[in-house]
């Protein structure tokens, strides 16, 4: 494969050196990221976010994955002087006593003002565009990049549907069957399939491509089961970057493949599974100086934190008891858990929700590790109808394990039959989702039946992808010969 990308090129001039390192970054970018670091999840080694003279870093020298730590600064209020800027350091392990209740109310006020004013549809200035994004609205907690580098559609602002038996109003009576199926009084579904490219991946991608832009990269790449690649292809096109996606041949749904091709990404189908594609893309990115945008890239995870923050804001900063989501490569479990922990440390919320990560039984390495108290990291040869989560060796294992341990969370598995049954319930309620997303409802139902989640606890489940991503799996296919003549008699006889 001929890839003529030259990786990180701040000035974008021709250069033979494919490992061009960070030497001539824009001064405002360097300044903005000066208090942002990367900490190894395994050995706690600390690296600066931008290492001058080095290519971008995705792993610690020990091989461990990295986690972003940054200094959160409340922006200066017009009435205050510079010296009044409220500055706090909140990494994942930050001490709780740093987050005073008054700091919490200042943050709440900031985010609520941005959500309410200006309206989401206004594009009359770049700042309004940022406030209207369900990711960049929380920018101080996501990535302190100068605004001129930000690449946003915008994304986020997805619906939080009340679907519980009790919290479903008359106008949503059809949604109540979801609550009844789960056995929950107060149940919400957050539909991340309402993002611009139809999945939650846009939340991480806007931040990842913003970093690529800031670093002067020319090409970006990922391995994907389909959604990350669709998102990368879209955002790369917007930013004028070359997009390269590695897909497991034959195991990506038609809708997702079509998106990558239509958005113009160079699409490489690997004769292997996602785990093979992941291994190869990491190697090729390091060799050719292409910017890697899998969730191995810690800045992608920062963007996905916004799912958790937006849920909290939609619930008026009252944290739910449980957050339930499908789990594959484990980026989302890591991101949402981190968001809740940081929101708690900033006193935005008064308790941390418990997280339940749901895996397909045929792609369950995280479940297997959890079942033995995380004594060993397991890998499997993955197989499930939910191709989005057909992953046997999840990259974010260490980050997600920490999340589950810290929030008293758990990992559950559900069969393909349970996934398809739950999908039918979500689809027939008029909401719809792709198969992997339905693992959420299947998992909730199982955990309620086992008494782990109590019937009166407040639960938020995440639907990760749009129904149209996969128009085949679990959907009744049109029966050939079922059309009728274009006469009123023929139509009457069909409907009677």
Interface ranges with ligand F0G (CB under 6 A): 199, 201, 224-228, 326-333, 388-389, 434, 436-437, 464-465
**Smallest gap, in angstroms, from Cβ of residue 202 to ligand F0G?**
11
Q: Rounding to the nearest 10 degrees, give the CA dihedral for residues 351, 352, 353, 359.
A: -170
CA distance 208 to 84: 31
Strands (E), 134-210: 160-162, 186-191
Report the residue number, 216 or 243, with the smaller CB distance to ligand F0G.
243
Report the residue number, 112 or 276, with the smaller CB distance to ligand F0G.
276
Report the residue number, 176 or 201, with the smaller CB distance to ligand F0G.
201
Query: What single DSSP character describes residue 486?
Result: S
**Smallest gap, in angstroms, from Cβ of residue 352 to ligand F0G?**
19
**Smallest gap, in angstroms, from Cβ of residue 52 to ligand F0G?**
31
Report the residue number, 139 or 191, with the smaller CB distance to ligand F0G.
191
CA distance 492 to 95: 69
18: Cβ contacts below 8 Å, ≥ 6 apart:
5, 6, 7, 287, 288, 289
Report the residue number, 116 or 262, with the smaller CB distance to ligand F0G.
262
**Smallest gap, in angstroms, from Cβ of residue 398 to ligand F0G?**
14
**Residue (of 165, 384, 370) closest to 273 by Cα position:** 384
CA distance 190 to 172: 15
Beta-strand relationship, 266-270 and 458-463? unpaired
**Smallest gap, in angstroms, from Cβ of residue 366 to ligand F0G?**
9
Report the residue number, 218 or 256, with the smaller CB distance to ligand F0G.
256
* Structure-token match 């900063």, residue found: 317
CA distance 366 to 412: 9
**Smallest gap, in angstroms, from Cβ of residue 55 to ligand F0G?**
23
Report the residue number, 71 or 383, with the smaller CB distance to ligand F0G.
383
CA distance 145 to 32: 6
Query: What single DSSP character describes residue 347?
Result: T
**Smallest gap, in angstroms, from Cβ of residue 216 to ligand F0G?**
25
Can you name the residues that pair with 47 across neighbouring β-strands? 38
């Amino acid at each position: 494969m001929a890839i003529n990308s030259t990786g990180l090129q701040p000035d974008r001039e021709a250069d033979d050196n494919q490992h061009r390192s960070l030497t001539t970054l824009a001064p405002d970018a360097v300044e903005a990221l000066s208090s942002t670091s990367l900490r190894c999840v395994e050995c706690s080694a600390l690296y600066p976010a931008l290492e001058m003279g080095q290519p971008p870093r995705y792993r610690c020298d020990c091989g461990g994955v990295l986690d972003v730590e940054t200094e959160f600064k409340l922006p200066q209020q017009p009435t205050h002087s510079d010296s009044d800027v409220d500055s706090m350091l909140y990494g994942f392990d930050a001490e709780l006593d740093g987050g005073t209740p008054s700091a919490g109310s200042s943050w709440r006020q900031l985010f609520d003002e941005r959500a309410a004013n200006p309206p989401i549809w206004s594009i009359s200035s770049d700042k309004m565009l940022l406030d209207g994004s369900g990711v960049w609205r929380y920018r101080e907690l996501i990535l302190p990049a100068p605004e001129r580098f930000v690449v946003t559609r915008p994304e986020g602002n997805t619906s939080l549907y009340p679907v519980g038996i009790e919290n479903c109003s008359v106008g949503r009576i059809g949604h109540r069957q979801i609550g009844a199926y789960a056995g929950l009084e107060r149940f919400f579904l957050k539909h991340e399939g309402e993002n611009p490219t139809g999945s939650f991946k846009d939340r991480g991608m806007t931040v990842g491509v913003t970093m690529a832009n800031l670093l002067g990269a020319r090409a970006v790449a990922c391995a994907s089961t389909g959604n990350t690649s669709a998102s990368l292809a879209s955002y790369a096109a917007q930013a004028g970057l070359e997009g390269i996606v590695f897909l497991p041949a034959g195991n990506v749904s038609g809708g997702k493949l079509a998106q990558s091709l239509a958005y113009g990404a160079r699409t490489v189908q690997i004769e292997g599974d996602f785990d093979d594609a992941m291994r190869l893309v990491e190697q090729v990115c390091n060799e050719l100086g292409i910017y890697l945008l899998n969730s191995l890239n810690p800045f992608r995870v920062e963007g996905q934190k916004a799912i958790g923050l937006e849920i909290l804001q939609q619930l008026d900063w009252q944290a739910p008891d449980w957050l339930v989501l499908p789990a594959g490569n484990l980026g989302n479990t890591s991101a949402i858990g981190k968001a809740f922990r940081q929101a708690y440390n900033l006193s935005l919320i008064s308790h941390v929700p418990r997280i339940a990560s749901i895996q397909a039984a045929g792609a369950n390495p995280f479940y297997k590790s959890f079942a033995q108290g995380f004594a060993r990291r397991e890998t499997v040869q993955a197989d499930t109808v939910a191709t989005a989560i057909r992953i046997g060796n999840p990259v974010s294992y260490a980050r997600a394990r920490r999340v589950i341990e810290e929030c008293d969370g758990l990992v559950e598995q559900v069969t393909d039959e349970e996934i398809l049954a739950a999908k039918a319930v979500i689809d027939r309620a008029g909401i719809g989702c792709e198969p992997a997303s339905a693992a959420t409802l299947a998992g909730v139902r199982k955990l309620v039946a086992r008494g782990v989640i109590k019937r009166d606890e407040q639960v938020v489940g995440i639907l990760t992808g749009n129904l149209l991503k996969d128009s085949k799996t679990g959907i009744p296919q049109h029966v050939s010969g079922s059309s009728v003549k274009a006469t009123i008699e023929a139509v009457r006889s069909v409907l009677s």
